[in-house]
Structure 1
């Protein structure tokens, strides 16, 4: 059974004062800001043009209301004026759309991270676990200059992890994993919020991100009471839950072998195939009959309600470690 959640510490807000534009603390923060200001500039220019035309035509109409109307513009000239206004505007917004699409693809394309950190949202706190097992609540320590991947989920309702200085926001959804990746570029302390209303104490669900140099980050990890790594804790839980009785190392008689399983393609009993990823492993723990592997009987029990989201992440880390020669992630 999972242990009760610790009491969240008092909220420590970073002393940053009022910031209309947050600091640029990640590699792509500047790129996001450039796009934002370009969109703001084009929209402002269009608004000024339209408002100016409204004022000009209103004044001209007011002064010329009793005058005889002259002949209108020729149809061909009207068409040229319309095209001359619409075409540059369309090209401008298509250019912004292409720019935004390129940035979006770059931000959401997964890359090999230097470190993967688990984040579990719960009313009303953020629970964090580092690969070596170090835990913290409402605070996220990360090393400067390293690609940091966050594996995010929720224990109860939908939350949203928002790191303004890193221009990063991801939903935390019960029963599924979302990921985010960023590379901190400057040391310091930055704000962390929940950007999705999640209940009465939503406003208190905030914290801080502490970016340290690589040496200081390693020193901070060494100073904590981490004990076993995340993968090692998953291995201990694997033994404690009795999983090793069927998933014996090097054996696949009663259940699929776990060595090298992560990332592979597995055939299911219905003839379809599935890539073994974090979501599949989680479903196999909570709903083992949902996607039954071909050639095996439905004998695995469900561990729903017996393991927490943090413990599921530990089990996933353990299985991942079996897929790369026992090296912890």
Structure 2
């Protein structure tokens, strides 16, 4: 039995780690089994007829075949019954999957190019890390700041498009602590494949402890806060700190250097230039780089902007 479960989790489907996952898997395996039986039956019948009724002599004329109503009814009625079974089963799972329990813990999700931001009821925000308690329904209320994204957690068997200027929602109940990968499954730009996040499932007591300690301390040094924001805001997906070329200019050696822009003008990368580039990324586009930085960073607080500037100044 353990071998069969391992086969299902690896060869067919990823690990099942939510309350809805077994129902989705059961429907999937039922339809796979039915399809395999139909495939074997059709191919077997074709092979039998090819061998049994092949033409054995050049002058052989086959006898007329009288159709049988039972056979004709069978290949109409049986597929119809199977389709109705799958429809009823799938519709029941769909309704359950998209109707969140009234006591679900609600988290606000923002999709950006190219990262996920999660906001909790107490005001704590995280980037690319969704922390949830095990054994408790969690509802995600989601919207996009720029283009269409799609939030997909294979281990939970849940997926939902995330649209600009409107809310969509999904819910799940994680059944075991651990870390699970979140994918964006709607092409959203050049860094789409790197728009990954993690769902970190805590035991319920540990989740409450994490929630209390997750806020940013007021006395955190600016450079340290900037390094944290560099990771949490996914700046690393476009800006390296080792000089390597990515979608945007590297932060290494950026501060104090002379930048040449698409219109031929130049400027020294001082604090004012860095601030403008964070809050108004399209104002001055560096020559040789696309103007793809989202305007969502304009929502950063003054302290967060100052922290990022201090972090960039240290990358020499």
The TM-score with structure 2 as length reference comes to 0.63
SS at match of 2:181: strand
Partner of 1:279: none
Q: Using a 3 Å threshold, how does the CA distance of structure 1 residues 105 and 306 change in structure 2: closer, same or farther? A: closer
Partner of 1:170: 160
Give the drift of 1:225.
1.5
Q: Which runs of 5+ in 2 are unaligned?
A: 1-8, 218-294, 302-316
Give the drift of 1:63.
4.3
CA RMSD of aligned residues (A): 2.7
Give the drift of 1:89.
2.2
Partner of 2:267: none
Instruction: Give distance in 2, aligned partners of 1:57 and 1:309.
Output: 70
Say whether residues 1:204 and 2:194 are aligned partners. Answer: yes
Instruction: Give distance in 1, aligned partners of 2:157 and 2:85.
Output: 22
Instruction: Give distance in 2, aligned partners of 1:170 and 1:65.
Output: 61
Aligned residues: 216
Instruction: Give distance in 2, aligned partners of 1:117 and 1:310.
Output: 20
Say whether residues 1:44 and 2:41 are aligned partners. Answer: no
Q: Using a 3 Å threshold, how does the CA distance of structure 1 residues 180 and 110 change in structure 2: closer, same or farther? A: same
Q: Which runs of 5+ in 1 are unaligned?
A: 1-16, 228-304, 312-329
Once the two structures are superposed, residues 113-145 of structure 1 have per-residue CA deviations (whole angstroms, 9 ceiling, x without a partner) of 331101100000001111111111111000011
Instruction: Give distance in 2, aligned partners of 1:97 and 1:114.
Output: 27
Q: Using a 3 Å threshold, how does the CA distance of structure 1 residues 131 and 203 change in structure 2: closer, same or farther? A: same
Which of 107, 115, 125 is the equivalent residue of 1:117? 107
Which of 76, 92, 102 is the equivalent residue of 1:102? 92
Partner of 2:213: 223
Partner of 2:19: 27
The TM-score with structure 1 as length reference comes to 0.61
Instruction: Give distance in 2, aligned partners of 1:221 and 1:65.
Output: 82
Q: Which has the higher contact order (CA 8 A, sep 6+)?
A: 1
Instruction: Give distance in 2, aligned partners of 1:37 and 1:90.
Output: 19
SS at match of 1:120: strand
